[in-house]
Structure 1
Amino acid sequence: MSRRPAALLAATTLVLLAGCATTIPTTVGPAATDPVCADVVLSTPDELSGLARTDTNAQATTAWGQPEAAIILRCGVQPLGPTTDRCVTVESADGTSIDWVVTQGDTDSNEGDATFTTYGRVPAVEVLVPASVRKEHSTSMLIDLGPAIAKTQKQRSCL
């Protein structure tokens, strides 16, 4: 085989493989253009709860896992006001403390989808965890996100 057809075959193979890459569809938050969101997303781990990072189609977002079962992080979502929803403080090994409000799902039985939204931080960050992931992985993944989320400004705390 001459060099030209071999190079063409290699280029075609790369294009076809690139077309197989998965992208997780999600929506952009209203404050996604906040420069802090770029720092947050770039500081998140390449792997979360054993799931590899996956591309998303929206600014200030990232995901881990497969399209049908992915953990999705969205920065720049609407900050939460006072709430009666469950608010928990998660502390990382480095001492970073992040408050999260659980707005969906049954946290005790790990059934149903769960949404964790930072409380008292600007810009606000949301982590969506589908039921299928919650059945296999604990929400201790929030500990691993602490250093990235700490790049946001803390204004209030859970009581």
Structure 2
Amino acid sequence: MDTASVDELAAKTFSEVSDDGVSVFLATDAIEEVEAVAATSLGRHGLSIRRPAYALRVPREALAEFDIQVIESHGDTGVEHVDSRHADLYASIEQYAALVRYLLNEQLQGQDLVRAISGAALWRRFELFAELPDSGLHASSRKQVKSLLRQARS
């Protein structure tokens, strides 16, 4: 992908970024990645546990290298321990374009930056979410989890 195409991709992806920043979830291991993807999937129309989901791994060092601000904030998935790992990214379109170029280059060099998460892993995470106490899972999120599990069983 040439530089112009990468810049166009970044501009298209990040042009609608509001003053609220880009919502991300911080993860220190593979399980936290699965939790974040599962939690952000709640409420998404057309979600299928039968298909994999994907996550983009963005190293914190890359954010620092491009002077992208990371402001920790509370998420709104309804899964408390995931929401506590939420952050917003703040940067200019030029900074985001530089980050996209960097990530694409790293992926082409062989870095594992795109994580495929199996439907089975999402299913298991939803089962674990359903077991959380009320203080760990908001009532509306619990309803969505139960609905997803029922749909997947049928």
TM-score by length of 2: 0.24
In terms of fraction of residues, the more strand-rich structure is: 1
The higher radius of gyration belongs to 1
TM-score (norm 1): 0.24
